[in-house]
Amino acid sequence: MSEWQGRTAVITGGGRGFGKAFGTALAAQGAYAVLIDIDGSVAEAAAAEIRAGGGSAEGLGGDVTDEARIAEVMAQAAAKHGGIDLLVNNAGLHSDEYGQPITTMGLAKVKRLFDVNVLGVVGVTLAALPHLKGRKGASIVNISSSAAHMGGSAYGDSKLAVAGLTITFGRELAPFGIRVNAISPGLMLTETIARELPAETKARVKAMQWLEQDGAEQHIVDALLFLASSKAEFITGETLRVTGGMGAGV
């Protein structure tokens, strides 16, 4: 029997992309997946797909910057199974709009970027904490980015902060038996990215990789399943780079 049987996983940004893939994979192993998305209808549609495939899931609307709503959502998720076993801080802003130079974006957009990508991680973690305490094997996995290790963008800076928060929360939550780790994805050629990414950009990024193969969504899913499992019981405060070598270095 899977160690996820009957356990509860809460995933922000769960309506699409990595978040949806995480929920699908965890539900397939017996977890109850709670998908939180700023668009509640998208979250519920993703949850409905999981249920149609035989898994257990629900979709809830919630903005990670809305402290009261996130506290409500966490309490609702925990009430079904007595607590939360895994929190995945996946929600984040990463569109081309937020990948521009700071001098182009201006202060308002930079504030919004950090409110979601950084303070959102803090707020959601604090809201989930009372429901993670006392759950054997409870853990948190944050989603950073290879951009955090390269410098040169506000987006990368926000994801570097996520890696830093992973260390801080790893230390602070260790006394409660809660592990905190992060995944730093490189270029993952999901269907959408493969379709929309200019060929020259793909070639430039792949030239920075050590491995020739394309990164895929499943590589990140596999990393999550490992870090959240008992196989990683002695790992906390770490950021796992899944970049094909692109993110290697000090």
- Output Rg (C-alpha) for the chain, integer angstroms: 17
Contact 159, 186 (CB under 8 A): no
What CA–CA distance (Å, rounded) separates 24 from 71? Answer: 24
Angle made by CA atoms 75, 77, 79, in degrees to the nearest 5: 65
Helical residues (DSSP H) of the chain, grouped into ranges? 17-28, 40-52, 67-81, 102-105, 107-114, 120-132, 154-173, 191-196, 199-208, 217-227
How many Å apart are CA 248 and CA 105, to the nearest integer?
29
Instruction: Return d(Cα 105, Cα 98) in angstroms, integer.
Output: 7
Whether residue 155 lies in the annotated active site: yes
Q: Which of 155, 205, 228, 240 is catalytic?
A: 155
Query: Phi and psi for 222 in degrees, rounded to 5?
Result: -60, -40
Catalytic residue annotation: 155
